[in-house]
Amino acid sequence: MSPLAVGHRFTDTKLAILSAQDVAAYAEASGDHNPIHLDEQAARAAGLPGTIVHGMLIMGRLEGAIRGWLPQARLARLSTRFVKPLAVGDGIAIGGRVVRVRPLEDGGSELLLRLTIANGDGAPVCIGEAALHLDAEA
């Protein structure tokens, strides 16, 4: 099935474990030093089982997976909802499915993808949608 057809599933992109070092580096780069991401005791005091990965770090990995699936596409819109925290030290798998294809006025097309990010156990941590624009020759 063509990646441009409704129903096409993109193979899950399994990514490396998101380590405490990854999270600390992201905290430095982003300025988000919320202790639930960096301090086990603070995370537990907030009712979490331990430190959790920044949501925007996860979204950055999601955008990278989309680029890997369809490098010729332009990301027009990305929306997500986090349904469960991702523990620091857990891996992620990103999957996508084409749910709509529509023509654009310029002769290109727009793909709407449904997206899921799962933790190392396969439980969804984030769900979302992305609208991608493709040129007519793509």
What the chain holds in terms of domains, given with CATH numbers, is 9-18+54-134 (3.10.129.10)
Q: For residues 65 and 63, give the distance between their C-alpha atoms in angstroms, rounded to a whole number.
A: 5
Helix (H) or strand (E) holding 43: helix 40-45
pLDDT at 138 over 60: no
pLDDT band at 137 (very low <50, low <70, confident <90, very high): confident
Rounded to the nearest 5°, which phi and psi values hold at 48? -95, 160
Q: For residues 101 and 82, give the distance between their C-alpha atoms in angstroms, rounded to a whole number.
A: 25
User: What is the 8-class DSSP label of residue 107?
Assistant: S
Look at 13 and 116; give whichever has higher pLDDT: 116
Model pLDDT for residues 8-53, shown as the tens digit of each residue: 999 777 777 889 999 999 999 999 999 999 999 999 999 999 999 9
Model pLDDT for residues 75-96, shown as the tens digit of each residue: 999 999 999 999 999 989 999 9
